[in-house]
Amino acid sequence: MCTNSIEKISTYSSPDRKDHHSFSNPHEALVTHINLDLEADFKQKVLSGEVQLHISHENASEIILDTRDLDIIKVSCNERENIEVSYGDPTIYLGQALHIPLVPDSRIITIEYRTRPEAAALQWLAAEQTTDKKLPFLFTQGQAILTRTWIPCQDSPGIRVSYNARIKVPKEMMAVMSASNPKEKNDQGIYEFEMKQPIPAYLIALAIGDIEYGEIGPRTAVYAEPSMLEKSIYEFADMEKMLIAAEELYGPYLWERYDVIVLPASFPFGGMENPRLTFATPTIIAGDRSLTALIAHELAHSWSGNLVTNATWNDFWLNEGFTVYFERRIMEALYGEDYASMLAVLGYQDLEADVHDIGHSHADTHLKLNLKDRDPDDGMTDIAYEKGAYFLGMLESKFGKSRFDKFLTEYFESHKFQTITTTEFVEYLNNNLLNELDEDVNVNEWIYGPGIPESVIKFESDKFAKVEKAISVFYKDGSLLDQDWTTHEWLHFIRNLAPDLGMDEMTVLDSRYQFSNSGNSEIAAAWYEQSIRSGYFAENIDQIRSFLVNVGRRKFLTPLYRALKETDNIALAKDIYASARNNYHAVSVQTIDDLLDFDSK
């Protein structure tokens, strides 16, 4: 079993590692391993059972855990039953601190508890909300600080634990986790799991439903509802190739297997990098393998994020900026430089849009954030992803790919199964790369400064240049050709249309290319936003409404609801949202509630 050692307690005394989003006291008492024993009750929508926490401490008087909306029934430690515990005051976003007194020989704490139906990490789906509409479904989403709503734990990204679990589910269902997984259902409905490598609590993940397994390669497979399995196997056919390409770039894959589960459409993200088992949205199943850069992204997290983890959510860019850069290097290795350049150009468009929306001089456009007294979810913008990736791209331009790849390989190897702060990374960067260069590479401007620095290295794409020419021709004489374009080219086409394009032009485009009825979620979402902002949406409001009701991916929801709001269609936005809200995970609900100032009562 790989766990943290008592020597690591001293690590948490550093002020730079103070996690303002956790009540825990790892500098005094540290959880090193978790044993879960839970049963899923789909009628009551609760998980119930117990958790054993293995801890390290040196005569600490107490250990402090993070909880939120949990019913704690009993706490025991060694031979001491029904320990008297205390709670801190409820705090918005954070929940409550659970204070458990310790004695010198306290090493294993057992907590009997149950979740509540409203637990933010858990989405309980009725059968009709699933793809196959036969059985209910449950999945968890722990990032950033939601694991505390289903496991009492030290819910900080800077604290790593190994874990085991025993999960009891209805016999017709299967359970899978971010751990070693079954390949088929059993007759008992009891599944056991092991995650030997230490991970932060936000990566402990569980899904339960009518799930089947389909192999792709020696180390790769997909889980999905039965009707989605063959489609998913086809879509992710290159997963093993991606894994090999990633290893060739930055060293061995240290998690044994890399599998993906395709979840119901309410999943709030494109993907979540839960180790050994990426959780993925079905919106990437396009039928043509055109959206699988998302799989490369989640795979890359096996190094940047899971192997080396941001110590606090203020350092989130260390997870995501590295991963976006790594993702594009994987795609370049498999599909060529221009393919990766298209991804980078689209990413830069997203970055510019976020900087504009947040404000060019706003502190939230820094890579190093200050999220104290705020929901860490506020920091999960394209600043962390794209500005972070472009920062690394700038460094690559200074040193060349070969030298920069060597630096990253050594970085992952020297920090594996550890956490890191921005300050610590800058020190490592200075000592292991920048000391070889005479010129200043304005690291502080990138990390601690606002907006997009002038030293950014922009990408160009020959294919996108042809797209832009096609737009110019359309504007000039209205002519359109049948285009054999990839998703990325179509996105570039739609994104570069004038926002006030006339109804006649929108009608012509929709008639020719059938954007409103596209089965590609990326293309459909981009077109729907264009439709709303140009006034064309009266022609495709049924498709927009259906999309918003049936898709829970926040990346798509936020721009569409915002477009409705900003075009004085707030009443329509709230009407659609009222119908859709129960289909969304709590992560998406919180964002759209705030955006629309929606009162659910």
Catalytic residue numbers?
Answer: 298, 385
Residue spans of alpha helices (H) in 336-419? 337-358, 382, 388-399, 401-414
Residue pair 170/42 in contact (Cβ under 8 Å)? The answer is yes
Selection from 121, 100, 94 nearest residue 23 by Cα: 94
- Rounded CA gap, 573 and 509, in Å? 25
Q: What are phi and psi of 398, to 5 degrees?
A: -80, -35
For the chain, the maximum distance between any two Cα atoms, rounded to a whole number of angstroms, is 84
Residue 216's Cβ-side half-sphere holds a number of Cα atoms within 13 Å equal to 25
Residue pair 289/303 in contact (Cβ under 8 Å)? The answer is no
Token readout for 482 is 């049948």
Q: What are phi and psi of 243, to 5 degrees?
A: -65, -45
- Rounded CA gap, 339 and 245, in Å? 15
Selection from 459, 456, 483 nearest residue 469 by Cα: 483
Q: How many CB atoms lie within 10 A of CB 476?
A: 8
Residue 309's Cβ-side half-sphere holds a number of Cα atoms within 13 Å equal to 27
SS (H, E, C) 268-315: CCCEECCCCEEEECHHHCCCCCCCCHHHHHHHHCCCECCCEEECCHHH
Selection from 124, 155, 123, 143 nearest residue 51 by Cα: 155
Q: How many CB atoms lie within 10 A of CB 275?
A: 24
Query: 277-280 and 271-272 as β-strands: parallel, antiparallel, unpaired?
Result: antiparallel
Amino acid sitting at position 56: S
Query: 137-140 and 174-177 as β-strands: parallel, antiparallel, unpaired?
Result: unpaired
Q: Which residue has the tokens 């610590």?
A: 424
Strands (E), 201-292: 206-209, 212-217, 220-224, 258-262, 271-272, 277-280
Amino acid sitting at position 356: H
Token readout for 179 is 């751990």
Q: How far is CA 70 from CA 43, 46, 121, 150, 175, in A?
A: 18, 10, 12, 7, 22
Token readout for 502 is 């006339």
